[in-house]
Amino acid sequence: MITDKRSSEDETLPSQAKKAKLEPEKYVIRKAFVLVIINEKFEDENIQDRKGAKVDKENIKKFCEGADFHVNEFSALKLDDTSLGTDDLEADEIKKIFKVISKGDFSFYDAFMCFTSSHGTSDGIVGVDGDLVTFTSLINCLTKCASLKGKPKLFFAQNCRGTLKKDFGIELKTRARETDDKTMTDYVKDVHHTVTIPAEADVLTAYSSVDGYESYRDPIEGSWFISNLTSVLTEHVNDMQLTDMLAMVSEKVARLKHHKGWKQMPCYTSTLRRSVVFATTDGQSK
């Protein structure tokens, strides 16, 4: 992981908690359970510590507190093991958290959200012991959770996805053009009362960089991705849908530049079946 300054610009569940609500054309998130895993100090002296990672955690917590989302509140999931740590975790400890959470009760939550900040590869994140945990294994744990079926499972991953490629950007000449906003949607009416969905449905994973590329982090202000993600989420959580916000994050990060000329491009993959909007305590979704 390479760090660099930018050269451009607890509580328990409420007794009257609302059950998750799925509307015909969108997921509405009023209450979310948020898992935050931050790895800053690594056991292997050959692996560089991640100065600024704790700033990521503070930025995430600040957003979640404003949205009234539960951060690492394992006791609210009716779990037998609620003494789980979330900072500076070895690979096996990360795996344990997800195995335990997969048995949790998310009945009163509209979504599961996970923020990770660590070293990593294109396949997953690295524990402080240097071992890898794949995103696939973590997502598999959640897709097996009965109380999360049909609900959004949102991952936001801050880590390098490779070190061999460097993005120096390209020059872009813009011009005005007319656009055709017409879209076509096929509506399929299901006459059955029971609907079967794919096991891998309803998952979005937002990565800090494209596969094969590094991600950058400021030791004072935190990572480029998390700092811009939490800023956009905080400002637009009640007036934009999630993927539009992610596009805005990508635009902001794409404008940043490492002092050596390197650029960074976030991306995401999604199997969400509907748009995701938020309706937090500070406002109403539109």
Extract the tokens encoding 249: 């994050």
**What pLDDT score was predicted for residue 58?**
95
Cβ contacts of residue 46 below 8 Å, gap of 6+? none
Q: Which residues are catalytic?
A: 119, 160
**Residue 222 carries which side chain, given as an amino acid letter?**
G
**What pLDDT score was predicted for residue 253?**
95
- Tell me the torsion sign for CA atoms 183, 30, 77, 75: positive
**What pLDDT score was predicted for residue 80?**
82
**What pLDDT score was predicted for residue 277?**
96
**What pLDDT score was predicted for residue 145?**
93
Go through the domains of the chain in sequence order and give each one's CATH number.
2-9+20-164+193-278 (3.40.50.1460)
Q: Write the CA distances from 245 to 2, 189, 240, 278, integer angstroms.
A: 26, 30, 6, 11
**What pLDDT score was predicted for residue 123?**
87
Q: Rounded to the nearest 5°, which phi and psi values hold at 242?
A: -60, -50
Query: What is the CB neighbour count within 10 angstroms for residue 172?
Result: 5
- Length of the chain as a residue count: 286
For each of the chain's 286 residues, which pLDDT tens digit applies?
A: 455 544 444 344 443 344 555 566 899 999 999 999 999 999 988 899 999 899 999 999 999 999 999 999 999 999 888 788 899 999 999 999 999 999 999 999 999 999 999 999 988 999 999 999 999 999 999 999 999 999 999 999 999 987 655 555 655 554 444 434 333 333 333 334 456 767 788 999 999 999 988 999 999 999 999 999 999 999 999 999 999 999 999 999 999 988 888 899 999 999 999 999 999 765 554 4
Q: What is the DSSP letter of 240?
A: S
**What pLDDT score was predicted for residue 286?**
41
Pairing of strands 203-207, 153-158: parallel
- Tell me the whole-structure pTM to 2 decimals: 0.79
